[in-house]
Each structure stands twice: as C-alpha cells, then as structure tokens.
Structure 1
C-alpha cells in the first residue's frame, strides 16, 4: 500500500503539471497558476484580457474536480469568483482545448451557462492516474 502522504504529493505534482500545461497553452506563465488539492481539488489560472460585460474585472480560468473548466471574473470584494461559463463535459480537457475555450469566451462567445456535473469530489487516485503524463512530459499544451 502506498502511504497517503506519497499519494497526496503525487496528486499535487500531477495537478500542478496539468495546470501549468493549460496555463502555457493560454499564454500564462507558471506564476499565474495555483492549485488547491483539498476536496474538491481546484486550479486557478489568471488570464490577460477582459470581458466586455466586465471591463474592470480580472479574468481567470478555474477548474474543479466536479465541474471541470470554467471562465470566471474577480469580484470587487472577498466574495467568490463569478463564473461566466463552463467548458463542457470534459473534466480533463487537453490544454489546447481549454485555451480555445478561453479565447472564444474572451471574444464574446461563451460556453455552457450551467455547470456540468462530471463527477463526485474526493477520490484523487483516479485523477492522479489521468494527470500523471503531464508530470512526465508525455502530454504538453497540445
């Protein structure tokens, strides 16, 4: 049996590698990417650009293990981010696909308005297995 600490580290490393690959595909550097490996696991990528509807708010891509990728805008207070649209029914979409989604949304062609319920949060072994190729460099921003 693999110790829990080791599997947590592997999941964190894999999620960071995937998030960095998505950030790179979107033109964002690693300093723009953060992850939270709690339950639900999540990721955040700060993007350049603004939405016409929210010209004074920063834009970000956000991911969580229940709903996948979404485009969000920052609020003016300590409130949660305001989700604008969702990518769809791929929990771990390829980085290039996430980048195309972000570009379309920033140009005024948003994705889904309602969050897809893709899976329950918690079992990170499943996610680690699917994200592992990003750690080893087998999958890049393609």
Structure 2
C-alpha cells in the first residue's frame, strides 16, 4: 500500500488522477497536450476533443471531469465564460476509461446536440482520501 495514502491523500490523488486522466485520454486518442487536470478546492480535468458540431460552429467540444459531477461533454467557450454542458455521464465520479470513451463516442456520433443535461442538486462533499483510494489502480508504479 502506498504510504502517503495513510497520511495525506493529495500526493496520492495527484498521481492517481494523472494516471486515470491519461487512461481516458488514451482510450479517446487525445494527445498529452490536449489534456490537463488540477487539484485545488475541486479536483478537475480537461480533455480537448477535436470534434465540432453544426449547432456550435467554430467551437470545439471538450470532455471535462470534476470530483463531484463526474464526466461531461461541453462546448469550448471563452475563458471568462462557463462551459456549456451538453451531456453528463452519471453521478459516478470514476467510471472505467473504456466506459467513458464508449459514452463519448456515442455522444459524438449522435445526430443531434445539444442535449438537455441533468441538473445538479447542489455541491456534495468529496472525501479526497476515498477518491484517491478509488483511483489508486491508475497511479503509475
């Protein structure tokens, strides 16, 4: 067992989240320069998708993740704007990379976007230690 999981989940979470996001990116053929993640007051991740939809001309789609809401497909916006979420996978924050990729491909192949995303019912507390443990299998050795 990784000793920093017992003391502080932040280093373990950083390594594990990096591995998880890379695994999802690999499933979707997103290059390393098209992905990022951050752990601050909320752990979040971004994967740039090289796809556009006629309903949003000139705007790429992105796959975003956060520790509370899980995965969403959204329209790239200006940095000062909130992303326009068009689909959410589920409340499950850590589905398998293969599940995420299959879902994204289905969204991208769909005939009509945007879809009505489900509504969030307030912010829920996240146990970072538990999240690090759930992601531990993705941490590089």
Q: Give the TM-score normalised by structure 2.
A: 0.83
**Structure whose residues are more often strand by fraction:** 2
> Which residue of structure 2 aligns with residue 36 of structure 1?
38
Aligned pairs for 1:29-108 within 5 A: 29-76=31-78, 78-108=80-110
Asked which structure has the greater RCO (Cα within 8 Å, sep 6+), the reply is 2
Judge conservation of contact 1:23–1:45 (CA < 8 Å) in 2.
Answer: yes
Shift of 1:56: 1.2
Unaligned 5+ segments in structure 1 are 138-142
Alignment length, in residue pairs? 135
What is the alpha-carbon distance in structure 2 between the residues aligned to residue 128 and residue 13 of structure 1?
Answer: 9
Structure 1 residue 116, shift from structure 2 partner: 5.3
In the TM superposition, what is the alpha-carbon distance from 1:40 to its structure 2 partner?
A: 1.8
Give the secondary structure class of the aligned counterpart of 1:48.
Answer: strand
TM-score between the two structures when normalised by the length of structure 1? 0.82
Distance 1:129-1:42 versus aligned 2 partners, 3 A rule: same
Q: Does the 8 Å CA contact 1:89/1:118 hold for their aligned counterparts?
A: no
Give me the whole-angstrom Cα distance separating, in 2, the residues matched to 1:95 and 1:117. 25
Residues 80-122 of structure 1, C-alpha deviation per residue, up to 9 Å, x if partnerless? 2111110123221111111111111112266771145698244
Deviation at 1:50, TM superposition (A): 1.1
Deviating runs (4+, > 6 A) in structure 1?
none
Tell me, which stretches of 5 or more residues in structure 2 are unaligned? Answer: none
Structure 2 counterpart of 1:27: 29
Q: 1:33 to 1:25 in 2, by over 3 A?
A: same
8 Å contact from structure 1 (residues 59, 72) kept in 2: yes
